[in-house]
Each structure stands twice: as C-alpha cells, then as structure tokens.
C-alpha cells in the first residue's frame, strides 16, 4: 500500500494521537479515550473523562475544537440520573476547554464506560512531539502524581473524603494552561503522564529524543497520602507491570522505595511532562505560576547514556 504522506503516525514520536497534515502547514490532531469510572460521583467521572480525553491534544501543543461522546451502558439499570450526570460533567468540562460536542454514540456493554474522541488543530511547526528534547533542557511536571494508588485506596474504601476531593480535582484539571504556556515559551517536547506512569512516559520521550532523562524525585511530586499508601502496599496492578516492563531501562539509584514505586504509578488524566530549553526555563516557570498551574522541577535532559532514565536523590 502506498504511504499517505499527510498522515503522521510515527507513534514513537507522537503521543497516543494521530496527526493529519492539511492546508498550508496546518495539522489536525485526533485522539480517543474512554474508560470505566475512576471516582464514585457520576458528574465528577464525566469531568475526569473529558479532561483525560482532551489531554493528548494538549500534550501535542494543539487546540481541541470538537468532540464526539462514547458511552457504554450496562444492561443492569443504574441509579436514577447517573447517565445524565456523567454527560453533564463531560459537557461542562469540554465547555471550559472551548470544545464543541458534535454528537456521540452509545452501546450496551457489561461495564459502564465513558469518554470522547477529540479533534484538535495546530500549526504544524508548533506541534510538540516526544522527540524534541535536547541535552541541557529542563524537565517540568505539571500535576502531582499518585492518582493510581489513591484510586485503588478509594475502591477499597480506605480514602478519606478530603483526599478523594483532592484527587478528583487533580484529575479533572485541564492541561490547557500548561500546554498554552509550553507552546508560548518554546518548549521542545511534551507528553502527558497516563497509564505507563511518569517513568513510562518519560522513557518514551527519552527514547524518541535519543537522550537520557535525569529525574530527581521528591515527596513534593506526589499528592498527600499517596506515598504512605504505596509504602503499605496499596497499588494498582498497572504499577507492578509498569515496573517490570520499564525497570530494566532505569537506573533507580538510592532513592527511597515508596518514591520509586510512585514513579511507576499509572495516572488517569495526569499532567504534562515538558522539556524546555534552559534559557527559557525560569520565564516558563513564572508563566505557569501566573496561570496557577501546579508544577515541579523534575530534572534535566542529558546526553544518551546506557539507560533511558537515571534517578537521583532529590
């Protein structure tokens, strides 16, 4: 089959989104994401599902414009108003993102699932990929980690209401402000932190850019309670499989075990990991502060060594 040169589907350098080149240097970014409830409140679930679905568009520095809803509804009846609340949560979040919902589709399924297919646009030359990080770049993370561990604790009924609210707020926050600042301040590469954990997504970026990431994790990177729960063995199945899969490519160093575990924790609707040239790093951080985007310095980019990621005590 002849290659369609308008379709940029190099998945090593693009996030879980596809890019279609059209017009004079324009790009269409398309992505789809839907999943089972991660929080109990249906409105909150709708918000999180929407923030998560648009995230890959933001990770690429593009602007989401339209969305189609995807809803899987179980045969067994749900509590009155559940579906309405999920859809309302999604609509409100996409309204905040400036995204128009054009329609959607629902099917019967054993398990409730919700999400969106999202379309975004960007000038092609401004697209952020995984592949642009260069030695010397600073790495910035824009949401605290720990969502997987906290969601597991929630399912076991071990999470206090304040922690549930905090976790929900983090997951429902759009990556919009972080993405806009990244494009405006000339970030070189970005990815969003989701199912493969910080380590997995950082590793994909390091590989695509042919560099090594030096990360200096500390407790501040995590939501309160997440590390204590991880230390007690509360962990989603994905954490273990992420560690098995990515561990051999990481020099874990001498950092404390709960911190290490947390880096493999799969995130739902996590933040962006952004590589920014050193001379623009402080202006970029100031821009994030002005936009009230939570962020930490995650480390820096080094020339390629024997491993993709080196962890150093923070």
Binding part of the chain for Co ion, among 56-64, 113-121, 220-228, 281-289 by CB under 5 A, reads: 56-64
Rounded Cα gap, residues 151 and 130, in angstroms: 28
CB of 163 to Co ion, least distance (A): 25
Q: Under DSSP, is residue 168 helix (H, G, I), strand (E, B) or coil? A: helix
Would you say 207 or 310 has its CB closer to Co ion?
207
CB of 56 to Co ion, least distance (A): 4
CB of 191 to Co ion, least distance (A): 6
258-to-158, 173, 263, 265, 294 alpha-carbon distances in Å: 18, 25, 9, 11, 22
Would you say 115 or 217 has its CB closer to Co ion?
115
**What track of x and - describes contact with Co ion for positions 147 through 186 (by CB under 5 A)?**
----------------------------------------
Pairing relation of β-strands 272-276 and 138-141?
A: antiparallel
CB of 13 to Co ion, least distance (A): 13
272 binds Co ion (CB under 5 A): no
Would you say 151 or 227 has its CB closer to Co ion?
151
DSSP of 258-274, one letter per residue?
HHHHHHT---SS--EEE
Please name which of 286, 298, 287, 211 lies closest in space to residue 259, comparing C-alpha atoms: 298
| Chain centroid to CA 103 | 25
16 binds Co ion (CB under 5 A): yes
List the beta bridge partners of residue 213.
301, 309
Would you say 15 or 265 has its CB closer to Co ion?
15
Cβ atoms of 306 and 248 within 8 Å: the answer is no
Would you say 20 or 82 has its CB closer to Co ion?
20
Pairing relation of β-strands 7-8 and 18-22?
A: antiparallel
Binding part of the chain for Co ion, among 49-57, 160-168, 254-262, 285-293 by CB under 5 A, reads: 49-57
Rounded Cα gap, residues 206 and 229, in angstroms: 29
Please name which of 35, 173, 197 lies closest in space to residue 116, comparing C-alpha atoms: 35
Residue from the set 29, 38, 48, 56 that interacts with Co ion by CB under 5 A? 56
Cβ atoms of 77 and 152 within 8 Å: the answer is no
Residue from the set 8, 19, 29, 33 that interacts with Co ion by CB under 5 A? 33
Cβ atoms of 51 and 171 within 8 Å: the answer is yes
32 binds Co ion (CB under 5 A): no
Would you say 51 or 229 has its CB closer to Co ion?
51
Phi and psi of 29, rounded to 5°? -110, 125
Query: How many residues belong to the site for Co ion (CB under 5 A)?
Result: 5
CB of 276 to Co ion, least distance (A): 19
Residue from the set 15, 207, 265, 300 that interacts with Co ion by CB under 5 A? 15
- Tell me which H or E stretch contains 227: helix 226-231
**What track of x and - describes contact with Co ion for positions 179 through 208 (by CB under 5 A)?**
-------------x----------------
> Which residues of the chain form contacts with Co ion (CB under 5 A)?
15-16, 33, 56, 192
């Amino acid at each position: 089959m002849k290659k369609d040169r308008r379709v940029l589907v190099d998945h090593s350098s693009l996030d879980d989104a596809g890019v279609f080149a059209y017009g004079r240097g324009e790009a269409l970014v398309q992505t789809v994401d839907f999943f089972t409830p991660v929080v109990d409140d249906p409105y909150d679930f709708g918000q999180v599902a929407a923030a998560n679905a648009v995230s890959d568009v933001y990770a690429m520095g593009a602007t989401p414009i339209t969305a189609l809803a995807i809803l899987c509804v179980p045969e067994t009846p749900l509590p009155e108003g559940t579906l309405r609340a999920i859809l309302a949560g999604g609509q409100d979040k996409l309204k905040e993102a400036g995204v128009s919902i054009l329609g959607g589709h629902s099917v019967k399924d054993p398990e409730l699932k919700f999400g969106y297919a999202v379309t975004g646009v960007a000038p092609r030359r401004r697209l952020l990929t995984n592949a642009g990080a260069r030695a010397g770049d600073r790495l910035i993370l824009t949401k605290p980690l720990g969502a997987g561990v906290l969601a597991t604790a929630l399912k076991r009924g071990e999470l206090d209401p304040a922690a549930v609210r905090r976790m929900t707020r983090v997951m429902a926050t759009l990556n919009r402000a972080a993405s806009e600042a990244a494009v405006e301040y000339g970030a070189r590469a970005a990815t969003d932190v989701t199912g493969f954990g910080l380590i997995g997504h950082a590793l994909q970026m390091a590989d695509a850019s042919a560099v090594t990431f030096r990360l200096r994790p500390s407790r501040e990177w995590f939501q309160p309670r997440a590390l204590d729960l991880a230390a007690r063995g509360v962990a989603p199945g994905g954490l273990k499989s992420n560690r098995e899969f990515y561990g051999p490519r990481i020099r874990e160093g001498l950092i404390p075990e709960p911190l290490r575990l947390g880096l493999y924790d799969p995130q739902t609707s996590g933040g962006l990991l952004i590589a920014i040239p050193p001379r623009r790093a402080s202006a970029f951080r100031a821009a994030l502060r002005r936009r009230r985007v939570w962020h930490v310095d995650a480390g820096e980019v080094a020339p390629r060594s024997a491993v993709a990621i080196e962890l150093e005590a923070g």
